[in-house]
């Protein structure tokens, strides 16, 4: 009898689960929207470099170009295009709205034409709304329900308390990081800011903002209202605290391949800017091997294309940061 009990005890011990301390820790539950792709955007020798390109002649968009009409160089070396599209890829767009006190009238104008403006987008395109003044807040996450997005613009001002002062550069950085985290790997990426460009940044330069946008593979565009002042370039030796810099959305747009416009009537301008953002070319080439760091890129047209459009202007980012 004692032998039988001992046998049962041994079997129970062998079959029982190990003590809690010996078990591996449970995995932390992460919401799907918080997942981040940690793969570098550009990995030397492996990834493709993607260029979101706009071509205009005067104020008009040039929309009939083909792959063979473009010439791309990186650090002066010709690059063979491996893919080309014109308006076919999904668009991930963040509307970055300055809701400081002086901007309410312009947002109301924008809201009145929002449904018409977003009709330029295509099924599958996604729009997020971020508001800012001193701080930023996500008014609406990425959504392909464009009718609801149009409705949400009108409530952006009244739903949030984001302070009274305006911090443009930090808001753009927040938008670029939100794009990197939530847009996913498919499609083009663009930010459209509505602001009066009246802001001073503390220890956050335009160069740092441009780098964040390039790392997020995002084109920055601006509708500038009110006085629409473009700051003068900093003069060498000027008696000024270098920690404080005036916002310059004009410069940031130009360096990332985007477009800026001074708006008289924000609603009409919003409509046109959405159309222009949606109608761009996407070029890609294999990243050549080399050292990590900034690599300068230039996009031009072939001689034949320039004969057709002698006053063509090309907007594309000036380079990218290669990573190991």
**pLDDT tens across 183-203, in order?**
999 999 999 999 999 988 888
pLDDT above 60: residue 310: yes
How large is the average pLDDT for residues 141-167? 92
Q: How confident is the model at residue 13 (pLDDT cuts 50, 70, 90)?
A: very low
CA distance from start to end of the chain: 70
Tell how strand 293-301 and strand 48-57 pair up.
unpaired
φ and ψ at residue 4, rounded to 5 degrees: -65, -45
> How many residues make up the chain in this entry?
324
Tell how strand 244-246 and strand 260-262 pair up.
unpaired
Determine which of 95-109, 149-163, 226-240, 267-281 has the lowest per-residue pLDDT on average: 226-240
pLDDT above 70: residue 277: yes
pLDDT above 80: residue 218: yes
> Domain 91-230+243-278: what homologous superfamily?
von Willebrand factor, type A domain (3.40.50.410)
How large is the average pLDDT for residues 275-291? 95
Report for 25-29, 103-107, 192-196, 243-247: range of highest mean pLDDT: 192-196
Q: Which residues contact 38 (CB under 8 A, 6 or more apart)?
A: none
Q: Which residues contact 19 (CB under 8 A, 6 or more apart)?
A: none
How large is the average pLDDT for residues 89-101? 95
Q: How confident is the model at residue 26 (pLDDT cuts 50, 70, 90)?
A: very low
More confident residue, 291 or 80: 80
pLDDT of residue 237: 58
pTM: 0.83
Q: Cα-atom radius of gyration of the chain, to the nearest Å?
A: 25
pLDDT above 90: residue 43: no
CA distances from 274 to 129, 267, 313 (A): 14, 11, 19
| Mean pLDDT over each residue of the chain, to the nearest integer | 85
pLDDT above 90: residue 238: no
pLDDT above 90: residue 264: no
| Alpha carbon distance 147, 118 (integer Å) | 8
* Percentage of the residues of the chain whose pLDDT score is greater than 90: 69
Q: How confident is the model at residue 71 (pLDDT cuts 50, 70, 90)?
A: very high
pLDDT above 60: residue 33: no
| Alpha carbon distance 300, 306 (integer Å) | 9
Q: How confident is the model at residue 235 (pLDDT cuts 50, 70, 90)?
A: low
- Over the chain, what HEC string results? CHHHHHHHHHHHHHHCCCCHHHCCCCCCCCCHHHCCCCCCCCECCCCEEEEEEEEEECCEECCCCCHHHEEEEECCEEECEEEEEECCCCEEEEEEEECCHHHHHHHHHHHHCHHHHHCCCCCCCEEEEEEECCCEEEEEEEECCHHHHHHHHHCCCCCCCCCCCCCHHHHHHHHHHHHHHHCCCCCEEEEEEEECCCCEEECCCHHHHHHHHHHCCCEEEEEECCCCCCCCCCCCCCCCCCCEEECCHHHHHHHECCCEEECCCHHHHHHHHHHHHHCCEEEEEECCCCCCEEEEEEEEECHHHHHHCCCEEEECECEEEEEC
Torsion from C-alpha of 158, 163, 168, 172, nearest 10 degrees: -70
pLDDT of residue 229: 77
């Amino acid at each position: 009898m004692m032998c039988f009990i001992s046998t049962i005890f041994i079997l129970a011990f062998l079959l029982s689960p190990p003590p809690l301390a010996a078990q591996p820790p449970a995995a932390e539950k992460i919401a799907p929207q918080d997942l981040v792709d940690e793969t570098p955007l550009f990995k030397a020798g492996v990834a493709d470099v993607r260029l979101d390109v706009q071509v205009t002649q005067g104020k008009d968009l040039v929309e009939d170009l083909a792959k063979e009409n473009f010439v791309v160089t990186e650090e002066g070396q010709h690059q063979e295009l491996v893919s080309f599209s014109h308006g076919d890829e999904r668009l991930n767009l963040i509307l970055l709205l300055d809701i400081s006190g002086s901007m309410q009238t312009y947002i109301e104008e924008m809201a009145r034409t929002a449904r018409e403006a977003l009709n330029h987008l295509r099924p599958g395109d996604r729009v997020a709304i971020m508001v800012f003044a001193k701080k930023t807040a996500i008014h609406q996450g990425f959504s392909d329900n464009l009718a609801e997005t149009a409705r949400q613009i009108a409530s952006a001002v009244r739903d949030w308390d984001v302070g009274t002062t305006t911090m443009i550069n930090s808001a753009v950085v927040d938008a670029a990081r939100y794009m990197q985290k939530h847009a996913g790997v498919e499609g083009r990426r663009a930010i459209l800011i509505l602001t009066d460009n009246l802001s001073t940044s503390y220890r956050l330069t335009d160069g740092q903002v441009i780098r964040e946008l390039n790392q997020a593979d995002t084109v920055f565009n601006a509708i500038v209202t009110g006085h629409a002042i473009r700051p003068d370039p900093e003069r060498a030796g000027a008696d000024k605290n270098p920690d404080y810099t005036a916002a310059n959305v004009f410069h940031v747009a130009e360096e990332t391949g985007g477009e800026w416009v001074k708006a008289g009537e924000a609603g009409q301008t919003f409509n046109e800017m959405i159309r222009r953002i949606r109608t761009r070319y996407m070029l890609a080439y294999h990243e050549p091997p080399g050292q990590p760091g900034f690599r300068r890129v230039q996009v031009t047209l072939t001689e034949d294309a320039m004969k057709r459009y002698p006053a063509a202007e090309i907007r594309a980012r000036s380079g990218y940061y290669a990573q190991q």
